Amino acid sequence: MPRRPQNTLQAPLNAILGTEANVRLIRVLVHADTPMTAGELARRAQLGRTSVYPALDSLKTTGIVEFIGTGAHRQLRLRSEHPLGHALIDLFSAEANRAISMVDALRESFKMLSPHPTSAWIEGVNHDERGGEDALTLWVVGDPKALPKITDALNARIGDIERRFGVQIAVNTSSRSEIERRVGAEGERFARAVLLDGIPPAALAAPVHSSAKNLRSHDEHDTRARRLAIAVAAKLERDPSLVRRARARIVDRESQASPGERRELREWLRMLDSAPGKLKRLLSDPGERGTRLRQTLPALDLLTPSERQAALASETDEQARTAVTKTKRR
């Protein structure tokens, strides 16, 4: 415990950022485009409703957040006009940009790999058991004969990334068959992964139903990618404001992308500027262009894990659209 209290005028961040709940709530509000209810804020911050209200009352007292409206429909927003409002926005934006830059650096490390893996992704960043640097898991799936060579090449390249971003990166490898065996118990985990190279892990880990064939050919992989794209298109059609979020992610990636990737990202930006109907057709286009662009699908994170799983389990275009349209609008 502190030996004596500090002046709130000189040290207001003690109260504003004093608990993890406060930090989580401010983070969500900084990145929110519009005000939101306490329940939605708690969901996005992954906080229980019983713990979110004391934190919100504390933040309201500092003046950094405010309630809009009355009763059950009142919403919250970050007060950018607060003396520390823009500083906090810059702080949490820098935090988000660090994560984006780290992912881009990891993706770049796969550009010159030969052979390429079937799939590579990272899982959520968590503090290690000692409470020190962040620990990051990088999974690589490929031909068992090629995995040792791929792992050696990656380990030689990621040391610089660890130093630049202050993380620890553990490279784990697996064969395709091993991943498929772990699907039943860990499907949700694969849905949350961040793709670095190759086929999205959610497509690799999609549950195999008795009526579905095992994924073996490139055509079958693209069928699953197309289902995801159709679900993304349906979600963008329901909520056009998500286009802005997708554009922002692409612009952030473009600044550090290789020339080849930059061309594809600019093509995606042109697609997002299209009329909704045209964008919908492009995302589900079975032709060569649609197939090529679906290999990256930068808007995939617009889908929630449950929406991804439902889209991947679908067997028709209509089922893929329903996977999104039957969920509550967020």
- We report the CATH number of the domain holding residue 39 as 1.10.10
Q: Are residues 60 and 105 in the same domain?
A: no
pLDDT of res. 271:
74
Q: Are residues 52 and 106 in the same domain?
A: no
pLDDT of res. 296:
67
The span from the CA of 265 to the CA of 259, in Å, is 10
Residue 182 lies in a domain: yes
Q: Are residues 281 and 309 in the same domain?
A: yes
Residue 212 lies in a domain: no
List pLDDT tens digits, range 164-216. 988 888 888 888 777 766 655 565 666 677 888 887 776 765 444 434 444 44
- Domain span at residue 191 reads 89-204
C-alpha separations of 43 from 37, 49, 52, 238 in Å = 10, 8, 10, 21
Sign of CA dihedral 182, 183, 187, 189: positive
Residue 304 gets which letter from DSSP? -
Residue 211 lies in a domain: no
Residues contacting residue 52 through CB under 8 Å, at least 6 positions apart? 21, 25, 38, 41, 42, 45
The span from the CA of 310 to the CA of 324, in Å, is 8
Q: Are residues 200 and 223 in the same domain?
A: no
Q: Are residues 198 and 300 in the same domain?
A: no
Of 152, 177, 204, which marks where a domain is finished?
Answer: 204
Q: How far is C-alpha 312 from the chain's CA centre?
A: 17
Residue 24 has pLDDT above 50, yes or no: yes
Run of H or E residues at 197: strand 194-198
Of 204, 235, 262, which marks where a domain is finished?
Answer: 204
* Angle at alpha carbon of residue 123, lines to 120 and 128, rounded to 5°: 130
Q: Are residues 104 and 173 in the same domain?
A: yes
Residue 5 lies in a domain: no
Residues contacting residue 58 through CB under 8 Å, at least 6 positions apart? 15, 18, 19, 22
Sign of CA dihedral 43, 45, 46, 48: negative
State the total domains in the chain: 3
Residue 84 lies in a domain: no
Of 161, 181, 204, which marks where a domain is finished?
Answer: 204
Q: What is the pTM of this model?
A: 0.58
Cβ(247)–Cβ(269) under 8 Å? Answer: yes
Cβ(266)–Cβ(198) under 8 Å? Answer: no
List pLDDT tens digits, range 79-117. 999 999 999 999 999 988 888 899 889 988 888 788 888
Residue 81 lies in a domain: no
